[in-house]
């Protein structure tokens, strides 16, 4: 990738992101207005009641007595300043709540993506080498079942087998509680806790990537440059990995961007299964507490995360494929 290209890719993504985020913000504002009651009702309900005069005072203080276009302008202006609102349930700014829980979710998403892409490549190449053969059919059937398994159920079954029966991994949690581990020991402890959630979240995506990789391998295998390489006397293994797999990889990497939103949604469920203190847990607790401000903040944050992942994916694709000069 040429140095100027990096800036170009990022700039294009950012230019694209502004209108997208604006529409998401309009949607969250719409949901906020659609919900029965407003922030003052929530505040009074959680604060243990109050009279109409207090409510009116508070509404004036928060600008909720103004017409909705003014409220919308106020809302957008706060968002521009990265102010996602205030959660009266937690008594803390929403952005702090999200910021604290973000690393856990990002770690889970990153490890699941690495697992899914890795296994997707190996299985896809293995299936695509002999299309229609027994290995191909077996791997495709496994992919079909992986796709059909709900991730929360996979999580529970993994807990049943590997935590309850075999006692190889912990049942849940981000790390061993009150263990005072530091440095490398703590990293290993977190990784040990992350194994089952990673697998549970990744299996669905393994099936997506293996099918793409298989299709790519089958297609590229008949390309002229592969025949040329074979004619030159390049070894079969080298042709498979250096010529075929490398080219078949591009759609897989591009798909990681397409799947980003689904991945985040899956992480929400998996965090709840494994009691991980991430964004998913925050979302779950917020639905139970009807803490709409937090949920809408999460919705906006999710959109930003998805855009960020897509930017990274664009950069990786541009680095892998010299033909892709930032479109």
Partner 1 sequence: MRRLGLGGWVGLSLVLAFVLIAIAAPWLYPGDPQDRVGRALIWPFEDPALPFGTDRLGRDLAAGIAHGTRVSLLVGFAAAAAAITIGVVVGSLAGYLGGLIDDALMRLTDTVQTIPGFVLALALVAVLGAGVGTVILAIAVSSWTGTARIVRAEVSSWRERDLVLACRAMGMGHGEILFRQILPNIAAPVIVLASVVVAVAILVESALSFLGFGDPSLISWGAMVAEGRGLLRRAWYVAAVPGAAIVVVVVAISLAGDALTRALDPRRG
Query: Is the C-alpha dihedral spanning 56, 58, 64, 66 positive or negative?
Result: positive
Q: How far is the CB of 305 from partner 1 (least distance, A)?
A: 9
Distances (CA, A) of 270 to 109, 122, 154, 293, 299: 10, 25, 9, 23, 18
Q: Indicate the angle between helix axes 260-273 and 151-158, nearest 10 degrees.
A: 40
Select 70 or 144, whichever has its Cβ closest to partner 1: 144
Contacts of 53 (CB under 8 A, 6+ apart): none
Q: What's the CA gap between 58 and 39, in Å, rounded?
A: 10
Nearer to partner 1, 1 or 143 (CB): 143
Minimal distance in Å, beta carbon 325 to partner 1?
Answer: 22
| Least CB distance to partner 1 at residue 98 (A) | 12
Distance of closest approach, residue 205 Cβ to partner 1, in angstroms: 13
Dist. CA 63–CA 77, nearest whole Å: 13
Nearest residue (CB) to partner 1, 167 versus 184 = 167
Our CB check for partner 1 shows the closer of 141 and 179 to be: 141
Closest approach, Cβ 117 to partner 1, in A, equals 19
Between CA 77 and CA 82, with CA 80 as vertex, the angle to 5 degrees is 115
Q: Which is nearer to partner 1, 135 or 186 (CB)?
A: 135
Residues in the site for partner 1, rule: CB under 8 A? 16, 19-20, 23-24, 27-28, 31, 34-35, 144-145, 147-153, 156-157, 159-160, 164, 258, 261-262, 264-266, 268-269, 272, 283-284, 286-287, 290-292, 295-296, 298-299, 302-303, 306-307
Please give the C-alpha separations between residue 138 and each of 115, 193, 298, in angstroms, as whole numbers.
20, 31, 40
Which is closer to partner 1, CB of 54 or CB of 152?
152
Q: Give dist(CA 147, CA 248) in Å, integer.
A: 21
Strand positions, DSSP E, 42-162: 86-87, 92-93
Rounded to a whole number of angstroms, the minimum distance from the CB of residue 93 to partner 1 is 19
Smallest separation, CB 31 to partner 1 (Å): 5
* Alpha carbons 208 and 259: distance in angstroms, whole number: 9
Residue 288: CB atoms within 10 Å: 9
For the record, the structure tokens of 61 come out as 């203080």
| Distance of closest approach, residue 223 Cβ to partner 1, in angstroms | 20
Q: Whose CA is closest to 201, among 124, 108, 301? A: 108
Minimum CB distance to partner 1 smaller for 44 or for 261 = 261
199 vs 296, which CB is nearer to partner 1?
Answer: 296
CA distance 62 to 14: 32
Q: Closer to partner 1 at the Cβ: 206 or 295?
A: 295
Exposed (0-12), middle (13-18) or buried (19+): which is 249, by Cβ within 10 Å? buried
The minimum distance between CB 42 and partner 1, in angstroms, equals 11
């Amino acid at each position: 990738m040429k140095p100027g290209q990096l800036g170009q890719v990022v700039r294009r993504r950012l230019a694209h992101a502004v209108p997208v985020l604006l529409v998401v913000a309009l949607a969250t504002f719409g949901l906020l207005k659609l919900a029965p009651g407003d922030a003052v009702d929530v505040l009074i309900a959680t604060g243990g009641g109050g009279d109409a005069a207090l409510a009116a005072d508070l509404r004036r203080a928060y600008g909720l007595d103004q017409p909705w276009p003014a409220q919308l302008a106020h809302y957008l202006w706060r968002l521009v300043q990265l102010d996602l609102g205030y959660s009266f349930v937690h008594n803390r700014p929403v952005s702090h709540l999200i910021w604290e829980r973000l690393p856990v979710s990002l770690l889970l998403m990153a490890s699941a993506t690495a697992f899914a892409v890795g296994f997707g490549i190996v299985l896809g190449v293995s299936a695509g080498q002999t299309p229609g053969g027994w290995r191909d059919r077996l791997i495709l059937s496994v992919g079909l079942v992986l796709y059909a398994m709900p991730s929360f159920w996979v999580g529970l079954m993994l807990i049943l087998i590997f935590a309850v029966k075999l006692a190889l991994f912990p049942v849940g949690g981000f790390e061993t509680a009150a263990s005072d581990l530091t440095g490398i020991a703590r990293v290993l402890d977190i990784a040990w806790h992350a194994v089952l959630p990673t697998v549970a979240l990744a299996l669905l995506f393994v099936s997506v990537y293996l099918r793409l990789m298989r299709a790519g391998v089958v297609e590229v295998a008949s390309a002229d440059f592969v025949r040329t390489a074979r004619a030159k006397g390049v070894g079969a293994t080298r042709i498979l990995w250096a010529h075929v797999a490398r080219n078949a990889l591009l759609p897989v990497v591009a798909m990681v961007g397409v799947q980003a939103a689904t991945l985040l949604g899956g992480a929400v469920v998996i965090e709840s299964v494994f009691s991980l203190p991430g964004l998913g847990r925050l979302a779950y607790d917020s639905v139970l507490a009807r803490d709409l401000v937090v949920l809408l903040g999460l919705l906006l944050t999710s959109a930003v995360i998805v855009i960020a992942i897509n930017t990274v994916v664009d950069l990786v694709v541009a680095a892998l494929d010299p033909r892709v000069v930032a479109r």
